[in-house]
């Protein structure tokens, strides 16, 4: 049976190996150790591919040996190009991933089903057009979280299903769904726009179905 490494532990082990070869990797290791659990950065597949890549480099560049106990290699000699590639790769991997609009869409739907206003607000734009029964307008991210929290408290979800997803001409993603709370059914709609590479909710509506 193939053992799949834990993604967090894998990321920390990888960073621990790398920190032996550059002062910069020491900072990378500290960052991963502090934030790895929070961001869960390294998927098992990504880790395995990266380790294979590193092993190839080690086999070509090392003049010493890699020990399983100490995870150390003596006399490592990296060329300038390899050093740059490794540094850039690790720094990119350690950035908190914002995800694509499709990824955000899935997380938004999950947050609505769980009535998790805090999680949902993570995907709000700085200001959003928000509409729920009794409240409509453009609000800040913090204000919108409070409004949605009150909405979920008043209308706890029995179910939420998406009936349609699409993409507008400008690349924005939208979703339409049915939000049920007791005997009340809402038509839910939200629009996700990507600005400067960051997808976020710009519109969110819960309207009672007549």
**Tens digit of pLDDT for each residue in 82-97?**
565 666 555 555 444 4
Both tokens of residue 202?
């710009």
Q: Label the pairing between strands 198-208 and 124-132.
A: parallel
Decide if pLDDT at 182 tops 70: yes
Compute and round to an integer the Cα radius of gyration of the chain: 23
What is the mean predicted confidence (pLDDT) over 6-29? 50
Looking at residue 62, its pLDDT comes to 52
Decide if pLDDT at 79 tops 50: yes
**Tens digit of pLDDT for each residue in 34-46?**
444 333 344 444 4
Domains in the chain with CATH codes: 7-94 (no CATH), 101-208 (3.10.450.50)
Cβ-contact 190, 199 below 8 angstroms: no
Q: What is the mean pLDDT of the chain?
A: 72
Number of H-type helices and E-type strands within the chain: 7, 6
Query: Rounded distance, CA 152 to CA 146, Å?
Result: 10
């Amino acid at each position: 049976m193939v053992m799949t490494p834990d993604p967090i532990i894998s990321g920390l082990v990888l960073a621990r190996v790398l920190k032996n070869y550059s002062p910069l990797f020491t900072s990378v290791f500290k960052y991963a150790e502090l934030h790895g659990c929070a961001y869960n950065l390294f998927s098992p597949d990504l880790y395995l591919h990266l380790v294979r890549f590193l092993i190839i480099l080690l086999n070509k560049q090392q003049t010493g040996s890699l020990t399983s106990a100490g995870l150390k290699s003596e006399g490592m000699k990296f060329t300038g190009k390899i050093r740059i590639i490794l540094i850039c790769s690790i720094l990119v991997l350690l950035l908190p991933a914002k995800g694509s609009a499709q990824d955000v869409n899935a997380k938004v739907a999950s947050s609505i089903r769980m009535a998790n206003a805090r999680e949902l607000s993570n995907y709000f734009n700085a200001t959003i057009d928000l509409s729920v029964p009794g409240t409509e307008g453009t609000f800040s991210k913090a204000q919108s979280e409070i409004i949605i929290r009150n909405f979920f408290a008043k209308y706890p979800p029995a179910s939420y299903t998406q009936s349609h997803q699409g993409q507008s001409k400008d690349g924005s993603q939208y979703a339409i769904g049915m939000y049920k709370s007791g005997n009340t059914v809402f038509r839910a709609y939200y629009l996700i726009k990507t600005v400067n590479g960051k997808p976020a909710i710009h519109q969110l509506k819960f309207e009672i179905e007549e």
